[in-house]
Amino acid sequence: MVTSVRQTVVDTIGVLDLQGDVAEHLDHLERLGIAAVRVKESSDLANLAGLIIPGGESTCLSRLLSIFGIRDRLLQEFQLGLKLWGTCAGAILLASKIVGEPSFLALIDIEIQRNAFGSQLDSFVSEALLPRVAPDPIPLTFIRAPKITRVGRGVDVLLQQDDYIAAAESPGVLVTVFHPELTPSLAFHRYFALKCGLTPFMSEASTLIDSPWDSRSWTRYTRL
């Protein structure tokens, strides 16, 4: 039976490990000194401060979440205080409305449009200043990205770009349509750790420092 409050101290962030950018998130959390675990089944959600739902393919992820019985446990843990961060496909799964199709988890009041920039060939990189996240511009990687087209009550916009919203949050949920895990920046992972009530060892000013990082640093996790 699920109790109304969490009974243990939680100091770990989980990364949903069904499909998508798992190793890259684990790498970033490790460089911040945050304990991280792979979440492959519903029991892995116990005693987590937060869960990252990574980029990948949202239809595939939604089916696997249902097949492995993780969806219902995730919703229960969210009600008990589990913080969630969805990147790209993860943001689609968390949205209360997906243009042209039913929502899946519906845990943040946003409307999102999948593949809004076009095909994979229309992927791109840029940078932007997000004062609430870091003092300096943050590199952004958009890969067949969605667009957030509307936010509702209780949702704060972290980044507005032209005619769409690229990052937003509610008290319990963070969503980004880009991939912070594919850059050397630790800014968003630090921001999410703080949202989860954890204390990363890097200060705000040092979140863009390679510590150390290169485009292949995550590959050590593929051998685990």
Residue 120 in domain: yes
At residue 4, the pLDDT reads 40
Q: What sign for the dihedral angle of Cα 71, 74, 78, 84?
A: negative
Handedness of CA 38, 41, 42, 46 (dihedral sign): negative
Could you read off the pLDDT of 144-163 as tens digits, one per residue? 889 999 999 999 999 999 88
**Domains in the chain, number:** 1
Residues 6+ apart with CB under 8 A from 41: 68, 69, 70
Residues 60-92: pLDDT tens digits?
Answer: 999 999 999 999 999 999 999 999 999 999 999
Residue 170 included in any domain: yes
Which CATH number characterizes residue 23's domain? Answer: 3.40.50.880
pLDDT at 115: 77
Question: Does residue 2 form part of some domain?
Answer: no
Domain assignment of residue 153, yes or no? yes
Does some domain include residue 224?
no
- Does some domain include residue 188? yes
Task: Compute, in degrees rounded to 10, the torsion defined by CA atoms 116, 95, 184, 140.
Answer: 30
- Mean pLDDT to the nearest integer, 98-110: 96
Q: Which residues are catalytic?
A: 88, 179, 181
Report yes or no on 176 lying in a domain.
yes
Residue-range definition of the domain harbouring residue 180: 12-219
Give the integer Cα–Cα distance in Å for 210 and 183: 10
Please tell me the distance from the alpha carbon of residue 49 to that of residue 146, in angstroms, as a whole number.
Answer: 27
What the block records as the tokens of 69 is: 């019985």
Residue 1 lies in a domain: no
Rounded CA separation 71/64 (Å): 9
pLDDT tens digits along 11-61: 999 999 999 889 999 999 999 999 999 999 999 999 999 999 998 889 999
